[in-house]
Structures are given as structure tokens and as C-alpha cells.
Chain A
Amino acid sequence: MNKATLRLSDGTEFTGQSFGYEGAVSGEVVFNTAMTGYPESLTDPSYAGQLLVLTYPLAGNYGVPPFTVGPDGLPDFFESGRIHVSGLIVADYSEQYSHWHAVESLGDWLKREKIPGLTGIDTRALTKRLREQGVMMGQIVPEGVSCPSPAENYGEVNWVERVSCRDIVRYNEGAGRKVVLVDCGVKANIVRSLVRRGCEVVRVPWNYDYTDMDFDGLFLANGPGDPDRCAAAVEVLKRHLASTRKPVCGICMGNQLLAKAAGASIYKLKYGHRSHNQPVREKGTDRCYITSQNHGYAVDAATLPAGWEELFVNMNDGSNEGIRHAVNPWFSSQFHPEACPGPLDTGFMFDRFTQLL
């Protein structure tokens, strides 16, 4: 394996070996503390524009499953059609893998999709740096490859636009209850979770105006980047909420868009929540859930207007994990009830939503 270096925008460097595509790349460097789930995470569109650091040191152990596509056109074992992270950084890549379901190694997959991978890194030291300084831009540069041109600043890009579908996609047509799914970078398992509960899903581009469409409920998907770049989506949503009481549910970016439409503001977390072990509590109850999360921005709950309230709160840092309308069937979570990867404990969010339809 050739040497490669991660250069952070604060000047810190970490040198390891390249195990993916031999090219230079830049992105916002973020860390995830999950111990499993790289095939799902790498294909999660919410990671667009980011260099992902896995804090669990061993990666690649169980290889990569086959890219098969189900009857509805969704990949069976991935969250989208391709890798969305810009680069992967691990401590100890496992060249050999073992799993009945695997067809190739993580390194081969990265090479195939032209995504750089870096191993042999003190990912704990790197993570601590990001925790203390906040997430920052960085570059992976293999030895002998010239530096990429300075990257666009992560926060200034409308990443949603880059990963959202261009045209309407329909799933489970004729199933009955129709859900419009606003695709800000939706993970496949959100679609699967709705389809499994008997919904017809109409997946529309992030800025699509669905206010004239005929449907039973609105679902706001996850997506990458700063929600403040998604003004167009918020505008459509505002008009929708003003015109109808139809059920609305959102996940992650969806939570933020709903909050913005309600009038609340968003702030960037120092280093985000990216893990499978985030504890959230349903406000006003004794019910707590372990959740899967991937977000760098959060809703400022203090700015929620009258008529809206917090639904979930993060038990570690008190940040907002979901909101709801006091009267109307509008609610959302900052965490990912669809899991994939991560714990399956909050699938009830889909039940609550579909039961309202």
C-alpha cells in the first residue's frame, strides 16, 4: 500500500497508507463512532462532501455485499446507488474479509467507485482534534499525487441539490395511501420502511412544489449539508403547512426543514452527532431510545414558535432530537428511525406516521 496523508485545514497532518482509490480528494472531515455499518454509511447521501473517519479501528472485516436491486429499483443492501462519502479514514483496514454475503473487499469497492481510503491513522487522535477544534476541511493526498485544488467550503454548497433525484420516482404504485417523499438525499431504507407499511411513495426532488398534488401524507427525508441552503424546500413546505393538516413526518434534514418552516432557526454543531448510540428521551415521558444519527446541524429548540414543541431531546447534550406541532399531526425526528445502519428501536416513527394516514 502506498503512503497517503490527511491534511487538516488547521495544518495538522496524519500519514497512513492508501487502500482505496489512488487520488487526492478534499472534504469536511467528520467522525462516526459506530462499530458496524460501513456499506450503509458510505452510501448514505447525507455524507456527500465529507471525509468520514471511523473511530472503531477495524474496518472491512465483513467485506461488501452484492449490489443487487429489488423489484422497486432500490438497492437491496445499500442506502443509495453509489458511495457518497468523498473519502474514508480508518485505523486498521482489514484486507481480507469474511462473510457469507460479501462479494468484494472494502478496498476494491472504494477503488471501483474511485473513492480514496486511508488506513493506519490514529483515528482517536484525529477524532479528539475534531472534537476540540470542531469539524474542519481536510484533504487526503496519496504520496506522489498532486494536491487537489482548494475545495469549496462545505457549508457554502447546496449538497442537497447534488444528491436529490432530478425527476419524480414512484414506488409501490396503487398501494393505497400515498406519501410524497421530499428527497433531500433520501436513504433507501426510508423508502423501504414506508413501502413495507403499505404506502405508495412518490419521491420528488428536494425543491419540487407538491402543494397541488393529491396525497395522504408528506415525508421529509434526510439529506446532507446546511439546511439554510434549502430555502426553496422550506418555502414549499411553508405553503403546504398553511394549506392543509395532512400528516407530516421528517427525519434528520426533514426535522430541520420542518423546524425552519415553523419559524425556528438552525445552528451548526461543533462536531455533529454521527453514531449508533445516541440516547434520546421522548419529552415528558420515561421512554428513552438508542438511536442512529448522522447530522452536523441542529434545531435551536428555544426558537420554536408557539404551537410547536420538542418531541425528543438528546440525553447527552440536551440538543433537539425532534419536534411536533401541538395540534396538527406534524412531527419529526433528528435521529434515523430507518436505521441502516444502526439500532432498530425507533421504527415506531413510521408506524405513528402511517397510522395517521
Chain B
Amino acid sequence: MKEKKIRKVLLLGSGALKIGEAGEFDYSGSQALKAMREEGIRTVLINPNIATVQTSAGVADEIYFLPVQPYFVERVIEKERPDGIFLAFGGQTALNCGVALYRNGVLEKYGVKVLGTPVQAIIDTEDRELFVERLNEIDVKTIRSVACENMEQARAAAEELGYPVILRAAYALGGLGSGFCDDDESLVRLAEKAFAFSPQVLVEKSLKGWKEIEYEVVRDRYDNCITVCNMENFDPLGIHTGESIVVAPSQTLSDTDYHFLRALAIRIVRHIGIIGECNVQYAYDPQSEDYRVIEVNARLSRSSALASKATGYPLAFVAAKLGMGYGLFELSNSVTRTTSAFFEPALDYVVCKIPRWDLSKFHGVDREIGSSMKSVGEVMAIGRTFEEALQKGLRMIGQGMHGFVENRELQIADIDAALREPTDKRIFVISKAMHLPHYDIEKIHDLTRIDRWFLYKLKHIIDIDEQLKLQRFDTLDAGLLREAKVYGFTDFQIARAIGLESTSASMHEALLKVRGRRKEMGILPVVKQIDTLAAEYPAQTNYLYVTYAGESNDIEAARDGKSVVVLGSGAYRIGSSVEFDWCGVQALHTIRKEGWRSVMINYNPETVSTDYDMCDRLYFDELTFERVMDIVEFEQPHGVIVSTGGQIPNNLAVSLDAQHVRILGTQAEDIDRAEDRAKFSQMLSNLGVNQPEWSALTSMEDIDRFVQRVGFPVLVRPSYVLSGAAMNVCSNSEELGRFLQLAANVSEDHPVVVSKFIEHAKEIEMDAVAKDGEIMAYAISEHIEFAGVHSGDATIQFPPQKLYVETVRRIKRISRQIAKALHINGPFNIQYMARDNDILVIECNLRASRSFPFVSKVLKINFIELATKVMLGLPVKKPAKNLFDLDYVGIKASQFSFNRLQKADPVLGVDMASTGEVGCIGDNTDTALLKAMLSVGYRVPAKTVLLSTGSVKQKADMLDAARTLAAHGYELYATEGTSRFLADNGVPNTLVHWPSDPDLQPQAIDLLHRHKIDMVVNIPKNLTTHELTNGYKIRRAAIDLNIPLITNARLASAFINAFTSVPLDRISIRSWREYK
């Protein structure tokens, strides 16, 4: 540490993963902690996100699983008395919290020095008016809007700004009265309308179609400044950079453009006084050198994580060192180790980032993408041609696409509209349009405003595809085949293009034929290094990618049987995120510690597992069968671990095994026996273990017959790939009929799986590690919600507090039987349902589950370390302690991002909707639950609660909680049925009316809008249209108005119990280490 007085530093994390704030902050925080550790500084971390790598043993000295909120941070400061604090590594959450602590004097009171960028500089970039003012001081142009109160002002403003302009009606929701004006005439027309809605109209220069360019800038305290990377958005301005395909470096900027914007970025960063890292975003005119600064982020960001991975320059690590007082010239380039950290990486490849959306998971959501973020994850693809990088990326997002071409046909009603108004599918709409004769580059450019250069490159892919289509397998031209590979085609795409699909038993067989022929022709990929200096200096870098645009490998494979490949988890998505990154990283650590060489394959720039420091070799590349085979054939490793990266690697087990790749741990055949519903079911029957009755059905008649036999409700899983529809519970034939209509396409090839749905059952999770079929360690946890809420959305309690001893005994017994029958070696998870002591198996995954980091950290036994040792064939002992020894409780709660997903119904069901989670520890359930709920954004209501509590059973379930609220002085508002029920049971409440009775007062929605309600408990009764519409309006209003909303009776009761029994100031502030 340059500053000797700083011995202990507090770092704020970003909490649960949410849309707009995801895994990138685990990566940046971990890097900062590593940088401090190197300096011998004691580190204190506050982050309730228990699944992160940064909250693992050995990363920070003290870890608090507490909300990143001023109240809790102050209490930690009070206890820990750190000398310094870092605000820049935990996203907007940490930044906002830090600014609040600065403003309320807490930092000053405790003498905590803000390291890195000064808080005033942060405030200057966060406050729009201050920001514009600061940039005006150095004559830098920002996007300005002029508020006008009459037509004359509006016309004058437009004249001054220059046409075209955008007109917005102030105070109008949903863009009412907004639009573009190309000239005075259109302005007058639109302004007349706008003034009718609103007394004030904002006039802004229209930057429609401008390029969006970003620079990542680093500055030290000596005023040395570099730009580590620039990036260009594929989509023009208007689409949030988190929603756009982004390329690095910029592709369409000349040297003059590039350095003009670079110099400007440096000038801005110097003027604002950043110390560390920041990013500058520009709008850049495609027809001149005119620009506007969109914003400056005075902290590590999504873009900086991407820039780090794109260049190999560890921005967060360097930023932390600069915050500790170093100059850039005192640090070395951590890739070459011989050259300086004061340099700007030179790329000799092109990087393409593509967002991953999960909009299909949400009912009613608006699919258009625009200025606010909706994507839940992203991928980064590396290639030596743009086409190669883009096609890799389109496969990596994992939405069933094989690249830019040779995908299943997209049904688009109006292609022009789909090009003009971007949705999550636009890139594929472009592909479709390019196949049609009447869409040329100019027309697509006019509709999308995407730079022609990108469109030319896309068209190039189409052209190669057209040439391939003229080929036949037997006469496949080697030159064309190589060309196709150079431009990113997979064997799958080629097989389909040359028509092998019709003559092969499966596409997998077809691609194997192409693969075989290709290898005969000697067309093989090469492995290249990312070395930050484009080969100018020798670098011992282990950061690798695979490409066909090259002749020779940069490295040699050791092939000594000491390498172990770990397959990563791919793009973050709903259902698979940071928890699998944690698992992968733990596997890598263990492999290294045990003296093996660790090799990671993954492509998610938001992760720690794709930090090249984490393993001996990092292949930043695809997790497709083809690419994994390429790497395995090159490396010839000891074996491959497929069980720590979630479902993507798990799904590869069988096809890899068929090519004689050694799968470490549970064998592919057994994985298949667990994954294949019929085989698994047969096995359970043989073991005498029960499961909910189910059937795979291919016709409506069969479905009706099945339902007649088992009775409603039933759980219906349509073929996701075809319909895009989620699974659902149906309680009557009307719902079933309606749902199946949505799901469409029930056919021989695409059966619908229908199973008996059991109500009011407990869900129980078994996470465990087995060796040779014998369980070595296990963790049983219980859901707070009853069955019907996806396990990824449920609130989970560990160790279980309310299970019968007999239930636990039976679960252990069944788990032992299953582990033995499947010869499990490694991690696995079984989900159970229990009603009384009847135990049913829902499913079994022979891989690590989402809850592995949570149970590992609460129990303080690293399940992945243990599992990895098993998979490496090392001797392991059963840990001495088990879950019944714990004196404390862990609660895992889910984070939802409904506020980002306009119009989506924020209701929970059998399909997962949460984007992240936290895990908090407390002396009892109430304390742990309260910490967890506060961490995912709930607030303790001040005085009013609105209840509409669903069916009779649910109303009864909620009665105690309602009484508790009343007893604690809360004012209760309730909708019709609930109000009556409460009154009948002696609970005072005020009746409010549903939106469907607009003439009756008071209206529930009005109360919400007037902020009269502090919390909403809205339990949907069933799926009837009427119920959904009324409830939906209230739920959606609660989300849009930022009022805490709970839609599950069990969770609502638990939360109400927690906050009425544990006052905030009685929550103990204890670090993870202190729970013994």
C-alpha cells in the first residue's frame, strides 16, 4: 500500500444479480479484493450475494451477508472501523450507498477515506445537471433538452438545436405525445398535440441513427491517463448498450474518429478527476465528426468487465491499485509480466458481445428493446473475422440458434416493422430479410439504421451459405468448406446447408459426417492467445480462443494426462447464473491444489471463471459439442468435468462420451438415466420410490384421458423449443384448453409432459456429494413456499426448521438408494415433495445445483471441493459435522427484476422468474429472513398494508399474519373478499375496490398511486382471466410504483412474522466467520 495509513478497507458489493447489475460485479469485486490482499490490506466485504466467488473463504478477510444499504453499512463501519472504503466495485448499488453515507456524514464521522475517485466526482457524473455543467466548462457537448412552455419557445429551441429534434411531453407516462420532427412544420403539428397533454414540452436534438461508441478510461493520481479499449455498438443510438450487440475494437471509425473521441474522453476524465476506471459513452454522427457525450460512469461497469475480458487488461485490479495510490507506471502488465500497465492493449482479433434475453419466461412482457435494459446476461465471442465472432456469439446465447444462418424458420408477420422496432430477435429478422429478394442492404439500413459495414458482413455470411447450399456431401469443395469455417460456420450449419439433414438419422449424425470429412481434408481450427500486445512481445498467457482464421497454434498441448477440463456455465440466464460460476471456480481451485492442470472452457464475460488467473488454461470459447471436441482433441486431457456448470455441460455428457471422451465423475450413461424421464421413472419404480404421476402425451385425447384419471390440478410442460411457452399449472379444463392453445403444436415429435400437481406440499432439496454411489456429504433444505413456486424462485431455509424427523429420515434413505442406483460420483441434487410423511421425488440432477454455494457456505463445507476430489479419484473422508450441528439458520431469497420488464405479470409460478438471489445467516429464521428480504429490496412497511389474499385456503393461511399486523398497529386495506373475511374474523380493515369496479371508492390503484400503501400482499387465486386482470393491475402498479409486493401466502406470513418480531436495531451484525 502506497498510503501507509490505510490498513483495513471496506468494499461494497452489488447484492443479488438483477437486470442491469449482474455477475460483472462479482468479477470486479474479486479483482479488487485480490489487489488489496497483495498489498497486505485487511479487507471487509458487505455483500448478501452468497453465491458469488467474492464471498468465498480466502477472498476477503471478513464477509458480511447483509444488505448493501446505508443503515447496515454504517453498523458494519461502526463495528469494523475500516480506514478506507471502495465504492466503485459494486455497481450502482454500492455507488448510491456510498454517496448516501458521504452525504449523511457517516464516512466523515468514522474517518473512513474514500479510495479511488472522490465522491464529488461521482456526484458530478451522477447528477444530470451538474454533469452537463462540468462538461460545459471544457466545451464538451452533452445531450441537452430544453424545457419549453409554449409553441414559440419550442420552435426557437428546435431552431437552436438544429433539426431533426425529438419532442417529449413532460410528465407524460409511456411516451405519450412524443415524436421526431424533421422541420418546423412537423414540430408545430406535434407540439400542439403535446401541449394538450402537458404544460411543458422538452425539445432535444434527435440523434436517431447515430453510432454509440464507448471508451474505457483509466487515470492515476499523477494524471497519467490511458484508454484501455473502445467499443462500438452494432445497434445505433436508442438501444441501451446492455441491450445491443457490441464489438471491440470499433470497426467503422477511422483513425481520426478514433483518436478524436479518445482524446476527448481523456480530457473529460481529467476534468472530472477520476482516479481509477471509468467509461465515457458517446453518440457519434455517422455523417460527420459531430458527437455528444451520453454519460460517464465513474465506476467499474458492465462495459469495463467486458473490456477487461476483451483485451486481457485487468481493469478492476488496476483500478484498485490506483485507488491505493499507485501510478500506472508502477504496475506491470499482468499478461506479459514484463511490460508496463501503462499501455493500451492492441487486439489482433475481434470481439463481439451479444445480450441474452429471457423474455419468454414472462407473461405479457413487452418484447421491444430500447433505452432500458431487459437482458439478463451476455456472451463474448472472439474471432479473427467479424463473421466468425458474431456467429459464435449467436450460438453462445443459447437460444437454440446455430449462428446467423441455418436456424429454424422465424415466423414474422411484418418484417419491416420487426426491423424498424427492435426486439430481442432483430438479428434473426435481419437474417430472414437478407434471404428475401426485396430486402437489400440499403433497405435494411434504412429500417434499422445499423451501419452498412455490419450489414455487408452479415450479407457475406448469407452469401457463403447460399454457396454451401449448392454443394453436396460427396463433392464438398475444400476451399469453400475452409471459407465457411473461417467465417464461423459450424459443422452443424454446414451439414444442414448441404442437405445432410434429410439423409441422416439425426442432425448429430449429420454433423459428425461433416466433421469427419473436414478432418480428412485437414481443415482444423487453431488455438490463439490473447496477449494484449498483438504478439509484439512474448507472453506466457494462458488466455486462449479457437479460430479457423489461422494456420498455426500459438501454444502446444502438454498431453501428459495431467490436464482436467472444466466446462463452464455459459451465459447468465434465468435459472443459471453466478452460482454455477462459483461451482466452476471451486472446481478449478481444487484441481490446481491437487496438482493437476486446470483448463476452463467458458464464454461469459461477467464471470470470475473466465478470469485467466483462475486456471492454468482458459479457452474463451463455445460450449458446443463441436468446440469442446476440438479442444479435447487438442489438449488430450485426463478427463472432462461436466457437473459443475449447470445444464449446458450436463447436456453434453452423452455426446462426448460417445466420442470416448472421459467424463470425470458420474458416468454419461447414469446421467442419461437421470435426465431421461422414462428411464428415471422406471428406476424409481424399481427402487419402490414414489413420484408424482406423469405422462408424455402427444394428442389432446390422451391429455384429457390422463387428466380424467389423476384429476386437476396438473402441471403442463409444453415443448419449449417450439412454442416458447413456459410450463404452467392448470386447475380446470378451461385453463388447460387455453394454455394448450398457447403452447400449440402438440404432436408425435413434441409431446407435452403432463403430471399430477400436488397442492399444499412442502418442497425439500437434497444437495449432496457421493463417491461410488455412497453419500459423503449432504444438505437438506426446505422451501418456505409450498410446491408450485419454482425452486429457483422459492425462499429456502437451511438447515430445515420445520420438517418432521421422519421426513428427513425418509429423504436420506431415498437419496442413498438413488445415489447407489445411479453410481453417483460427484455432486447431485434431488428435489422432493412431502405431504405429511409421504415423500415424492420430483427430479434428480447428477450435477451441482443452484443451491450448492448457499449450503456450502452456511454449512462451511465446500461441497464442490469435495466433489472435485471425488471426480479426480482422490481419497475423501466424510466431513465430521452435519447440518444438525448448526446453531444458526441460512435463508436464501430470490431477487426479481420485474421493474425492468414492462408489463410483465410479477407473479410466481412453476417456471422460474427470478434473476438472482441472496443468502443471509441469522440466529433464527426470523432474523435471517428479514436480512434476506431486505437484501432483495423489500422494505419493512411503515404503517399500511394492502391485502388481497386469494382463495379461502390462502385467506385462512394469511389470517394469523393479518392479526399480527393489526396487533402491531398496521392499517390494513383489503379487497372485497379479503376484507369480508378479515372483518368476519375480527380483524379491522378498510375495504378497497378492484379495478374492475371503477365506480366504487376507494380504488386500490388510486391508493397505490397516492403512495398510501407501504406493502402489497396479492395472492392470485387462480388463472381465470378476470382474476388475472384485476390482480395483474394491482401487482403491476405495485412494481411500477416501487412498492414491495409479495404474491405468496407462506412467504408473506413469514416476512410479516419476521419484521414484527425482530426490530431492525436488534439484528446482530456478525460476519460469516463469527457464525460458528
Report A's interface with B, CB cutoff 8 A: 14, 31, 33-37, 39-40, 55-58, 61-62, 65, 77, 91-92, 94, 96-101, 122-125, 127-128, 131, 271, 275-279, 281, 286-288, 290, 315-317, 339-345
B172 to chain A, nearest CB (A): 35
Q: Give the A-binding residues of B (Cβ under 8 A).
A: 222-224, 226, 249-256, 258-259, 262-263, 266, 286-288, 327-329, 338-340, 342-350, 384-386, 451-453, 456-457, 526, 528, 533-538, 549-552, 554
Are the CB atoms of B456 and A124 closer together than 8 Å?
A: no
Chain B residues contacting A99 (CB-CB under 8 Å) are 252, 254
A316 adjacent to B343 (CB under 8 Å): yes
With contact pairs A92-B549, A290-B344 given, residues A36 and B536 touching in the complex (Cβ less than 8 Å): no
Once A97-B453, A276-B346, A315-B342 are accepted as A-B contacts, the answer to whether A345 and B385 lie under 8 Å apart by CB is: no
Give the residues in chain A near B343, CB-CB below 8 Å: 277-279, 290, 315-316
Interface of A is mostly: loop
CA distance A34 to B345 in the complex (A): 10
Which residues on B sit within 8 Å (CB–CB) of A61? 251-252, 453
CB distance from A196 to the nearest CB of B (A): 15
Q: In the complex, what distance in Å separates the CA atom of A67 from the CA atom of B253?
A: 19
Known: A36-B253, A55-B534, A275-B536. A98 touches B344 (CB 8 A): no
Q: A91 to nearest B CB, angstroms?
A: 6
**Shortest Cβ distance from B533 into chain A, in angstroms?**
7
A100 touches B345 (CB 8 A): no
Chain A residues within 8 Å of B255, by CB: 34, 36-37, 39-40, 340-342
Q: Are the CB atoms of A58 and B385 closer together than 8 Å?
A: yes
For residue A279, which residues in chain B have a CB less than 8 angstroms away from its CB? Answer: 329, 339-340, 342-343
Q: Select one of B249, B254, B344, B385 contacting A92, CB under 8 A.
A: B385
Q: Judge whether A34 and B346 touch: CB under 8 Å.
A: yes
Residues of chain B within 8 A (CB-CB) of A94 are 453, 456-457
Residue of A nearest to B487 (CB): A92
A57 touches B342 (CB 8 A): no
Contacts of A101 in B (CB 8 A): 254
Residue of B nearest to A271 (CB): B536
Contacts of A315 in B (CB 8 A): 329, 339-340, 342-343
Task: Say how far B319's CB is from chain A's closest CB, in angstroms.
Answer: 17
Contact partners of A287 in chain B: CB under 8 A: 222-224
Q: Are A33 and B348 in contact (CB under 8 A)?
A: yes
Q: Are A124 and B288 in contact (CB under 8 A)?
A: no
Name, among A14, A33, A77, the residue most crowded by chain B CB atoms within 10 Å (CB to CB). Answer: A33
Of all chain B residues, which has the CB nearest A121? B551
Select from chain A the residue with minimum beta-carbon distance to B536: A33
Residues of A within 8 A of B254 (CB): 36-37, 39, 62, 65, 99, 101
Q: Give the Cβ gap from B766 to chain A, nearest Cβ, in Å.
A: 50
Answer whether A316 and B535 are a contact pair too, CB < 8 Å, given A33-B348, A34-B346, A122-B550: no
User: Known: A36-B255, A344-B263. Is A100-B288 also a contact (CB below 8 A)?
Assistant: yes
Residues of B within 8 A of A100 (CB): 286-288
Minimum CB–CB distance from B974 to chain A (whole Å) comes to: 61
Q: Which of B250, B254, B286, B535 is the most central at the interface, judged by chain A CB atoms within 10 Å of its CB?
A: B254
Closest Cβ of chain B to A119, distance in Å, is: 11
A14 contact set on B, CB distance < 8 A: 551
The CA-CA distance from A94 to B386 in the complex, in Å, is 10
Q: Is the CB of A56 within 8 A of B340?
A: no
Q: Which chain B residues border A271 with CB–CB below 8 Å? A: 536
In the bound assembly, the distance between CA atoms of A131 and B537 in angstroms comes to 8
Chain A's closest residue to B538 (CB) is A131
Shortest Cβ distance from residue A238 to the other chain B in the assembled complex, whole angstroms: 35
Q: Is the CB of B348 within 8 A of A55?
A: yes
Across the interface, do A124 and B535 meet the contact criterion of CB distance under 8 Å?
yes
> Nearest Cβ distance between residue A127 and chain B, in whole angstroms?
4
Set of chain A residues within 8 Å of B451, measured between Cβ atoms: 98
* CB–CB A131/B535 < 8 A: yes
For B526, the chain A residues whose CB sits under 8 A away are 122
Interchain residue pairs with CB less than 8 A apart (18): A14-B551, A33-B346, A56-B249, A57-B348, A61-B252, A91-B549, A94-B457, A99-B252, A101-B254, A124-B554, A125-B550, A127-B535, A131-B535, A131-B536, A279-B343, A340-B255, A342-B259, A344-B263
Q: How far is it, in angstroms, between the C-alpha of A122 and the C-alpha of B453 when the chains are bound?
A: 23
Minimal Cβ-Cβ distance residue in A for B531: A124
How far apart are the CA atoms of A98 and B533 in the complex, in Å? 27
Please, which residues of chain A bring their CB within 8 A of the CB of B349? 57
Given contacts A276-B346, A287-B224, A316-B343, contact A339 B453 (CB under 8 A): no
Per a CB cutoff under 8 Å, which of A36, A39, A124 touches B550?
Answer: A124
Query: Which of A31, A91, A340: most chain B CB closer than 10 A?
Result: A91
